[in-house]
């Protein structure tokens, strides 16, 4: 196996247990994007067995996959544009989020034909200007009231834009807008069963936003929502679940002054040995990563040298390395470079590092 992702399911279970100690609310485990690159079904099963009582996906096909795997807990899919397979969703008892009258109408139309009462969550835009009802709120409310007997109002929710910046005043503004919209919903006689607002950042830092359920995403995988603003995951007793290992394809001597890789963007500063690692940007390693990331072998770090290629990258193993072709190195995690370090070295966030690891890299649990 040239490269693989090792997923520590026990770490995910421990992270859920830690969050359960921090909130009185049920936990919705967010397993969208193939469980943030960790593997949809294995992570979902672990989350449920570890105390999560709900699962959340962005895409409907993800939710359907969970049902096909025999998972029976409530599942919400919240990114379902018009024209999706709502018939399958309703037959599989999947909760659907609506953010517009048009989408609401379409789902109810399918539900009436099937004689099924759909489980619906209303998403409102409280300031992020992404998902959620905004300018048609009054019309949305009127439609919701008129059709009240044709659906079950399970949830009312929104999403923070800056909860990973706990001191940001905009969080208070969003909480206030959320409360206002909830009051307006109740004033027309609509009472949701579950009110949920908190993502991982708010779950860890804003108890006032926990309401009746929290949505645990990045924290479940042992990563901080924002290392700079909130500190590292270890500060919250969370443990990263992902480690990536890959083989060395070739070890070769290089001399000081040698240029490495496409464009010759980096020059070796000493006589050393280079290792060619069989992972590249087609596997999900960001091409833009600089030499403040690399791999770990035999008790030492080996920084990247030059640009990451499609299927491989080059590292400086040091002049006295014992590495040989066929040896495994740790690319991410363990005692080596962390996910956060790779994110910083490539100018992105830890979310992107884990979710972009390609499906051609096998997951081992």
Residue 273 is a catalytic residue: no
Distance CA 124, CA 140 (A): 10
Measured distance between the N- and C-terminal CA atoms of the chain, rounded to whole angstroms: 15
Closest to 247 (Cα-Cα) out of 161, 313, 181, 337:
313
Give dist(CA 219, CA 18) in Å, integer: 10
Q: Choosing from 252, 262, 337, 365, which is the catalytic residue?
A: 262
352's enclosing H/E stretch is: helix 350-355
Task: Please return the burial class of 101, using the count of CB atoms within 10 Å of its CB with bins 0-12, 13-18 and 19+.
Answer: middle
Q: Listing from the earlier edge strand, what are the strands of the sheet with 152-157?
A: 194-196, 152-157, 119-123, 95-98, 75-77, 54-57, 27-30, 214-216
Nearest-angstrom CA–CA distance, 202 and 195: 14
Q: What is the DSSP string of 321-350?
A: ----TT-EEEEESTTS--HHHHHHHTTS-H
> Nearest to residue 344, comparing CAs of 249, 189, 232, 208?
232
- Please compute, for residue 231, the number of CA atoms within 13 A of its CA located in the half-sphere on the CB side: 8
Which of 32, 181, 247, 273 is catalytic? The answer is 32
For this structure, is 262 an active site residue? Answer: yes
H/E stretch holding 141 reads helix 137-146
Q: Which residues are catalytic?
A: 32, 262
């Amino acid at each position: 196996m040239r490269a693989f992702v090792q997923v520590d399911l026990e770490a995910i279970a421990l992270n859920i247990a830690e969050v359960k100690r921090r909130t009185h609310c049920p936990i919705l485990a967010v397993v969208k994007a193939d469980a943030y690159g960790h593997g949809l079904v294995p992570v979902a099963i672990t989350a449920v067995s570890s105390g999560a009582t709900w699962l959340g996906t962005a895409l409907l096909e993800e939710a359907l996959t969970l049902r096909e795997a025999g998972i029976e807990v409530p599942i919400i899919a919240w990114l379902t544009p018009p024209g999706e397979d709502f018939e399958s969703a309703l037959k599989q008892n999947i909760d659907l989020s609506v953010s517009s009258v048009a989408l609401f109408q379409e789902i109810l139309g399918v539900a009436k034909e099937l004689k099924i009462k759909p489980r619906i969550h209303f998403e409102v835009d409280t300031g992020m200007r992404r998902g959620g009802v905004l300018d048609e709120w009054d019309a949305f409310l009127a439609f919701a009231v008129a059709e009240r007997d044709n659906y079950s109002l399970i949830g009312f929710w929104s999403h923070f834009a800056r909860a990973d910046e706990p001191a940001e005043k905009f969080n208070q503004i969003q909480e206030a807008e959320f409360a206002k919209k909830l009051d307006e919903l109740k004033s027309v006689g609509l009472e949701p069963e579950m009110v949920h607002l908190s993502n991982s950042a708010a779950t860890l830092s804003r108890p006032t936003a926990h309401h009746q359920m929290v949505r645990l995403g990045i924290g479940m995988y042992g990563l901080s929502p924002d290392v700079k603003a909130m500190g590292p995951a270890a500060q919250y007793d969370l443990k990263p679940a992902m480690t990536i290992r890959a083989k060395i394809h070739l070890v070769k001597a290089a001399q000081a002054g040698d240029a490495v890789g496409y464009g010759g963007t980096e020059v070796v500063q000493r006589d050393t040995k280079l290792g060619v690692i069989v992972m590249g940007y087609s596997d999900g390693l960001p091409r833009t990563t600089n030499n403040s990331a690399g791999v770990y072998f035999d008790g030492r770090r080996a920084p990247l040298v030059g640009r990451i290629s499609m299927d491989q990258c080059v590292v400086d193993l040091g002049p006295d390395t014992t590495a040989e072709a066929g040896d495994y190195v740790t690319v991410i995690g363990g005692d080596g470079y962390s996910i956060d370090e790779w994110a910083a070295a490539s100018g992105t966030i830890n979310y992107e590092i884990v979710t972009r690891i390609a499906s051609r890299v096998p997951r081992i649990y």
